[in-house]
Amino acid sequence: MGSKLLQVKIKPNSKPHFLELLAFIKANPAAPKQEMLQKGYFWDSFFLDKEENLFMVLKSQDFSKIMMDESELVHTAFRPVYEQFRSQCWVEGSYEDIEALFCFNDSLSFLGLTVER
């Protein structure tokens, strides 16, 4: 299982919108999980620093096989919530792949749901 750390600069005062996104994910974990399984990765962790940078740890069996063309993605109720957060809060062009990481945690869980291998 590979891991990546991504950094996205978010606009000032975006934390409430981020917390709304997290609340949706916690209340509806199957929706984002289904989309991420289709895309070939899943979000493991989020971190929001005081400068309003969002850090995301992504995991995948093979990052070279991630779905890049989302035209075949079967959308769930998660998609409009995520797209609204992204359009309202992300600073355009700020998405940065920091480095490849290694993780010792092999449970591969997403909000308490085990990811199928």
Does the pTM exceed 0.85?
no
Name the phi and psi angles at 90, rounded to 5.
Answer: -75, 140
**68-116: per-residue pLDDT in tens?**
888 888 999 999 999 999 999 999 888 788 766 666 655 555 444 444 4
Residue 40, SS3 per DSSP: coil
Per-residue pLDDT, averaged over 29-53, amounts to 89
pLDDT of 98 reads 77
96 vs 37 pLDDT, higher one: 37
According to DSSP H, which parts of 42-103 are helical?
78-89
Rounded CA-CA distance 96/74 in Å is 26
Residue 11 has pLDDT above 90, yes or no: yes
pLDDT of 104 reads 61
Share of the chain above pLDDT 70, in %: 84
pLDDT of 112 reads 47
104 near 24, Cβ under 8 Å? no
Q: Which residues contact 7 (CB under 8 A, 6 or more apart)?
A: 53, 54, 55, 56, 94, 95, 96, 98
